[in-house]
Amino acid sequence: MDRDQRAGGPGSTDRWWDSYAARASGMVASEVRALFAVASRPEIVSLAGGMPAVDALPLEAVASTVADLVRSRGPVALQYGSAQGDPELRARICDVMGMEGITDARPDDVVVTVGSQQALDLLTRVFIDPGDVVLTEGPTYVTAINTFAAYQARVVHVPMDGDGLVPDALRETLTRLASAGARVKMLYTVPTFQNPAGITLTAPRRAEVLETCRRAGVLVVEDNPYGLLSFTGAPVRAMRADAPDDVVYLGSFSKTLAPGLRVGWALAPQPVAARLVLAAESAILSHSMFTQLAVERYLATQPWPEQIKTFREMYRDRRDAMLETLADTMPAGTTWTRPEGGFFVWLTLPDGVDAKAMLPRAIAARVAYVPGTGFYADGSGRDAMRLSYCYPPPERIQDGVKRLAEVLRAEIGLRRAFAGDPATDPSSQ
Ligand code: PMP
């Protein structure tokens, strides 16, 4: 199906295509989701999805927490709740954020959401009019791009280097957009163990980015689902810790507990939090009390910090397996990032190799990745891919990377042959 048909253009089999709101045309499936069905076939090593390794959770402990909850607080857990979320859970969330240096958060300023994804959706709904600009890192989290597109925002990327978002580039972009009369509403950033690049914004740059946005009147949205998954031990200090009035912080239990519970949150300045609650009310009436209280009870009764430590060590081993195999197998001209936490490595291919064009050959060789283009709103990223090491065990990661290196070598050979490169042209030897 081409984009026109999917979006309801002429030729669509959807009898309602003429009735959809204009914003519906911005709603497209993410490249990651499109890959999901193929990549989840058992013979394929998937370095594509970003699924947490929930099999490392103590399922017995989860089961007994849930059973206790139903027995002791069943009528509350099974009842409607408020759109802002359960107060006890919000208090615990404030303690969790304390681990990242946020010591002044009040439960009143926290809004519990259906994963942090819903917090992003509500925030976009509250702040963005069609045509408003959202700045993001380039590359950035694919579903954030889709959320912004669904509200008809214009996404403008600001480049990163190994130290994260480049402050000079941010200033230049703001100046350029201001002189073009654009309304820049927010900077959406994943400053810690970024999805997809695995890069962390350095402390001096955090201060610079905050100051630049403050001066420009641009809200900073700090999306931080991976912050506690640091391989060096100490969690990275959140940007919100140093700028309570300028930052909306998005957090999640998806990577440190379980994504199936769908419990995330926003911490926002009070007036913003109040609007998010109104937006949540119209979206979902009330969040699931059941999963909120399950999380609250789990944090209260189980050794959750130990669980995070287990996750950290497991993901660090997987990261190591990936980095070591990349170093052993990748052809010259390939480069990659070295994440200090989180789930992802960003791989840049040798000159002229197109990650999207190569994907069918990788799938045929039983390895999957996400082409870099999925993480840009403007078609950039053809020469790059995201590799995730979160889900497969280390031996599978090693196999997958080896297969990928073989596919890449073949691709380079093919390109040289087509370009008549004397290095591979048999007639020249
Ligand atoms: N932000 C980023 C950067 C993510 O990687 C993800 C999950 N892949 C989310 C938000 C959404 O997480 P949640 O499960 O909390 O909705």
Residue 245 CA to ligand 1 center (angstroms) comes to 23
Structural contact between residues 193 and 342, judged by C-beta atoms closer than 8 angstroms: yes
Residuewise pLDDT in 10s, the chain (429 residues): 444 444 556 667 888 888 898 888 877 776 666 677 777 888 999 999 899 999 899 999 999 999 999 999 999 999 999 999 999 999 999 999 999 999 999 999 999 999 999 999 999 999 999 999 999 999 999 999 999 999 999 999 999 999 999 999 999 999 999 999 999 999 999 999 999 999 999 999 999 999 999 999 999 999 999 999 999 978 899 999 999 999 999 999 999 999 999 999 999 999 999 999 999 999 999 999 999 999 999 999 999 999 999 999 999 999 999 999 999 999 999 999 999 999 999 999 999 899 999 999 999 999 999 999 999 999 999 999 999 999 999 999 999 999 999 999 999 988 888 776 555 544 444
Residue 197 CA to ligand 1 center (angstroms) comes to 14
Residue 252 CA to ligand 1 center (angstroms) comes to 7
Taking CB atoms and a 6 Å cutoff, what residues make up the pocket around ligand 1?
Answer: 50, 115-117, 141, 190, 195, 223, 225, 252, 254, 259, 264
Q: Domain-by-domain residue ranges, the chain?
A: 21-50+306-413, 60-302
Structural contact between residues 309 and 315, judged by C-beta atoms closer than 8 angstroms: no
Identify which of 396, 326, 404, 413 has the alpha carbon closest to the alpha carbon of residue 368. Answer: 404
Rounded alpha-carbon distances, angstroms, from residue 350 to 244, 326, 355, 373? 42, 14, 10, 16
Residue 169 CA to ligand 1 center (angstroms) comes to 26
Ligand 1 atom at minimum distance from 194 CA: 3
* Other residues' Cβ atoms within 10 Å of the Cβ of residue 162: 10
Q: Indicate the fold that domain 60-302 takes in CATH.
A: Aspartate Aminotransferase; domain 2 (3.40.640)
- Token couple for 105: 């958060």
Identify which of 154, 117, 161 has the alpha carbon closest to the alpha carbon of residue 138. Answer: 161
For 391, the 3-state DSSP assignment is coil
Residue 349 CA to ligand 1 center (angstroms) comes to 26
What is the CA 197 to chain-centroid distance, rounded? 10
Identity of the amino acid at 78: L
Residue closest via CA to ligand 1's atom 5 equals: 195
Q: What is the pLDDT of residue 416?
A: 82
Residue closest via CA to ligand 1's atom 8 equals: 50
Rounded alpha-carbon distances, angstroms, from residue 7 to 4, 186, 364? 5, 27, 30
* Other residues' Cβ atoms within 10 Å of the Cβ of residue 172: 12
Tell which one of 252, 253, 291 to mutate to probe ligand 1, the residue whose CB is within 8 A of the most ligand atoms.
252
Residue 63 CA to ligand 1 center (angstroms) comes to 24
* Other residues' Cβ atoms within 10 Å of the Cβ of residue 99: 14
Tell which one of 113, 124, 143 to mutate to probe ligand 1, the residue whose CB is within 8 A of the most ligand atoms.
143
For 160, the 3-state DSSP assignment is strand
Ligand 1 atom at minimum distance from 254 CA: 14
Residue 173 CA to ligand 1 center (angstroms) comes to 26
Tell which one of 113, 116, 257, 267 to mutate to probe ligand 1, the residue whose CB is within 8 A of the most ligand atoms.
116
Q: What is the pLDDT of residue 9?
A: 61
Residue 218 CA to ligand 1 center (angstroms) comes to 22
CATH, range 21-50+306-413: 3.90.1150.10
Residue 390 CA to ligand 1 center (angstroms) comes to 14
